[in-house]
Chain A
Amino acid sequence: MYRYDHFDQAIVDARVAEFKDQVGRRLRNEITEDEFKPLRLMNGLYLQLHAYMLRVAIPYGTLSGTQMRMLAHIARKYDRDYGHFTTRQNIQYNWIKLDQFSDLLDDLSKVEMHAFQTSGNCIRNISSDQFAGAAADEIADPRPYAELLRQWSTLHPEFSFLPRKFKIAVIASDTDRAAIQLHDIGLQLRRSDTGDLGFRVYVGGGMGRTPVVGKVLRDWIPVGQYLSYSEAILRVYNRYGRRDNIYKARIKILVNELGIAEFTRQVEAEWALLEPLGLDAPQAEYDRIIAQFADPAYDLSAPDTLDLSDPDFAVWVKQNVHPHKQPGYAIATISLKPRRGIPGDASSAQMDVIADLAERYAQDEIRVTHSQNLVLAHVKKADLYTVWQALAAADLATPNLDLVTDIIVCPGMDYCTLANARSIPISQKIAALFENDVAQQQDIGELKVKISGCINGCGHHHAGHIGILGVDKKGEEAYQLLLGGSGAEDTTLAKILGPGFDENGIVVAVEKLIARYRSIRSDPSERFLDTYRRVGADTFKEAVYG
């Protein structure tokens, strides 16, 4: 993974010093809260219901054991002993104090971490595929390109006061594990017939109040020019994105209003002016970064077999372990959706366990997924049992990846000032229906339930096979039910099924949906999503509403 050189460290240190100075001036009332707010947001610090919330950046979801240990330390020292992994591969702390923030930033920068641009109207964390570098179906590791984007977008002077936030995702396979068509810019690394590398560029995808599937802006841009091309996209957005209405300010609205043809024309015209200016990094810089993502030194004699005689281990392997491109190795997903737990949360003790395992058994690398789980991407099959036992002892071995209890849920009104309703209790009630019966969960099969506590959609409910949206109905918490979304390469947006429910009604509705699915699926291997796509909404509507 990428390691800072002295330039990277100096840039982080300067930015940290700058923000410390800004905090000092705010605490001395030398600047107003209105002036301070965008500065604080550009450093990842929100004011939430109970306290300040800090969102620490985990670039493209990759971190080392040392970094994970520091995240555990921060949870213990500055927070209340836990953190929450998010749908954009970052981590959030919920109980931060502004007057301790200086020390916290210093601690983060010691391990090459920071919280820049995890909030605010700027370019946010570049997300990527949690199986990058390990998946057999990727063209190449997408993360060097995410790292180049990270550097290009950090403290970009032209794009720090955009109309709204800006999110970019990068993958390198036809299978989309990062939902690139639901990002402001989505990049898919491809190889041409002549062996050159380039990107297909999607633009204008997103969820929230106006969900849109991204459109292809350009089918091919050579890797050597994607930075200047991104610059052109951002400039058109910065100049022409709407600034009159926060709900119409994302690039997806601009693309819709201009139409993709006109939007493309404007980007291409801008790029024609930008491309000759030498904005793109040279090949030497690409090579330098790519070298840091080289394959680990695989043990070529590692046995490619697995002893599945322990039935609990076998269940976990079947659900949470994916094939690795290298024989003898496997990709293990650590579920952060345990029985009666809070989805995406990990205690500091659990973080330490994961750090140890990563260092000992996974080439010192951990990935965060946008489903709020973690991944050890390079585990020897021979070590999997030992890893599983250690995970199980720490309540990290729930065998539910992509099953009905692997729910994606935003913090909701238990934490967030923007929320209209609580979301975590809903996920817990739904999970409680199934969490004691793994066989039943496996019978239901892949079912992605996603819950957001408000229209901002941080729970990605529009991309849920079953999506749930918390709303405010005359001062009471209420929930809308949506069906048929997908954030994979077959991206679709979930649609509202019918009238909403209260907090008990929504759980009953989900139960009815699943019962109906099981009774009409063509065979047990047909996923809920595929059954829905095959038969349509009517039978599900009838099941829920009668």
Chain B
Amino acid sequence: MDNQDQTAVANAPSPALDDAPARLRFRDDAPFDSPIAPLADFLGGGNFAAVRVEPGEDVRSLTPHLDRLKLVEIAFPKFRDGRGYSSARILREAGFTGEIRAAGDVLVDQIGFMRRVGFDSFAPAKPLNLKVVQATLDRHPYVYMKAADGKTPVWALRHG
């Protein structure tokens, strides 16, 4: 039965913590190679420089700790669950310049949106076709609205 867009996504199991270097990365600095702590452990006072945020967790709890974080991994157990997009953008708005990684059920057709909200690395559960990734990223010459990538929205191009 074609349920169109009607699939519940909460409580889907997250992919395993990914300590391997990300398969797709858009940063110049060295990939971070260190344990990634679940959010509760990080906030519990562990000495970690990498933390993982699940869809239902509040990424703003990291705001006081951004200067000691090198990597925030945002889990996507189900590609339809879009909470991680807000999490990434909130981190960038809070001034985080470290690596933000999308991990799990990440589809190639989402990479464009994810780059715009501040993700700069990807650990997809299924390998991505890099040609399609490149085509996706090259495809859109203009954007209508500001996001976390610094791209100038069309209204600014129109009026200088």
Whether the pair A243, B5 counts as a contact (CB closer than 8 A) is: no
Whether the pair A10, B141 counts as a contact (CB closer than 8 A) is: yes
Whether the pair B146, A161 counts as a contact (CB closer than 8 A) is: no
Given contacts A156-B145, A285-B155, A418-B4, 20 further A-B contacts (CB under 8 A): A5-B158, A8-B154, A21-B135, A31-B107, A35-B79, A37-B4, A37-B5, A47-B2, A121-B82, A151-B155, A157-B112, A157-B117, A242-B10, A244-B8, A244-B10, A245-B8, A277-B93, A278-B146, A281-B153, A282-B155
Q: Does B83 contact A (CB under 8 A)?
A: yes
**Residues of chain B with a CB closer than 8 A to A58's CB:** none
**Residues of chain B with a CB closer than 8 A to A18's CB:** 109, 136, 139-140
- Give A280 Cβ to nearest chain B Cβ, in Å: 9
- A–B pairs, 11, beta carbons within 8 Å: A7-B142, A30-B129, A119-B5, A151-B155, A154-B144, A155-B143, A239-B83, A246-B6, A279-B145, A284-B159, A417-B4
Whether the pair A158, B80 counts as a contact (CB closer than 8 A) is: no
Whether the pair A281, B117 counts as a contact (CB closer than 8 A) is: no
**Residues of chain B with a CB closer than 8 A to A408's CB:** none
Give the residue among A154, A238, A277 with the most B Cβ atoms within 10 A. Answer: A238
Whether the pair A285, B140 counts as a contact (CB closer than 8 A) is: no
Whole-angstrom distance between the alpha carbons of A15 and B109 in the complex? 12
Contact of A41 among B4, B112, B114, B132 (CB under 8 A): B4
Whether the pair B8, A158 counts as a contact (CB closer than 8 A) is: no
Whole-angstrom distance between the alpha carbons of A165 and B8 in the complex? 13
Q: Does A160 contact B (CB under 8 A)?
A: yes
Q: Which residue of A lies closest to B136 (CB)?
A: A18
- Give A444 Cβ to nearest chain B Cβ, in Å: 37
**What 10 pairs across the A-B complex have the smallest Cβ distances?**
A161-B82, A157-B116, A244-B10, A157-B113, A243-B10, A285-B155, A284-B159, A281-B155, A246-B6, A7-B154
A1-40 contact mask (Cβ, 8 Å, vs B): 1 or 0 = 0000101101100110110011001000011000101110
Whether the pair A238, B145 counts as a contact (CB closer than 8 A) is: no
Q: Does A185 contact B (CB under 8 A)?
A: no
Whole-angstrom distance between the alpha carbons of A278 and B8 in the complex? 34
Q: Which residue of A lies closest to B116 (CB)?
A: A157
Whether the pair A38, B80 counts as a contact (CB closer than 8 A) is: yes
Q: Which residue of B lies closest to A247 (CB)?
A: B6
Of residues 77 through 118 on chain B, the ones whose CB sits less than 8 Å from some CB of chain A are 79-83, 85-86, 89, 93, 107, 109-110, 112-114, 116-117
- Give A305 Cβ to nearest chain B Cβ, in Å: 45
Q: Does A101 contact B (CB under 8 A)?
A: no
Of residues 140 through 161 on chain A, the ones whose CB sits less than 8 Å from some CB of chain B are 151-152, 154-161
Whether the pair A158, B144 counts as a contact (CB closer than 8 A) is: no
Whether the pair A158, B5 counts as a contact (CB closer than 8 A) is: no
Whether the pair B139, A14 counts as a contact (CB closer than 8 A) is: yes
Give the residue among B83, B107, B155 with the most A Cβ atoms within 10 A. Answer: B155
Q: Does A200 contact B (CB under 8 A)?
A: no
Q: Does B20 contact A (CB under 8 A)?
A: no
Whole-angstrom distance between the alpha carbons of A158 and B90 in the complex? 10
Chain B residues with CB under 8 Å of chain A are 1-2, 4-11, 55, 79-83, 85-86, 89, 93, 107, 109-110, 112-114, 116-117, 129, 132, 135-136, 139-147, 153-159
Whole-angstrom distance between the alpha carbons of A334 and B158 in the complex? 38
Interface residues on A, range: 35 or more
Q: Which residue of A lies closest to B1 (CB)?
A: A417
**Residues of chain A with a CB closer than 8 A to B154's CB:** 7-8, 11, 151
A146-182 contact mask (Cβ, 8 Å, vs B): 1 or 0 = 0000011011111111111100000000000000000
Whether the pair B7, A246 counts as a contact (CB closer than 8 A) is: yes
Whether the pair B86, A238 counts as a contact (CB closer than 8 A) is: yes
Contact of A243 among B81, B114, B141, B159 (CB under 8 A): B81
Contact of A158 among B89, B140, B153, B158 (CB under 8 A): B89
Whether the pair B9, A151 counts as a contact (CB closer than 8 A) is: no
Q: Which residue of B lies closest to A17 (CB)?
A: B139
Whole-angstrom distance between the alpha carbons of A281 and B145 in the complex? 9
Whether the pair A279, B4 counts as a contact (CB closer than 8 A) is: no
Known pairs A151-B144, A243-B8; A158 contacts B155 (CB<8 A): no
Whether the pair B8, A246 counts as a contact (CB closer than 8 A) is: yes
A269-281 contact mask (Cβ, 8 Å, vs B): 1 or 0 = 0000110011101
Whole-angstrom distance between the alpha carbons of A457 and B143 in the complex? 34
Q: Does A120 contact B (CB under 8 A)?
A: yes
- Give A296 Cβ to nearest chain B Cβ, in Å: 24
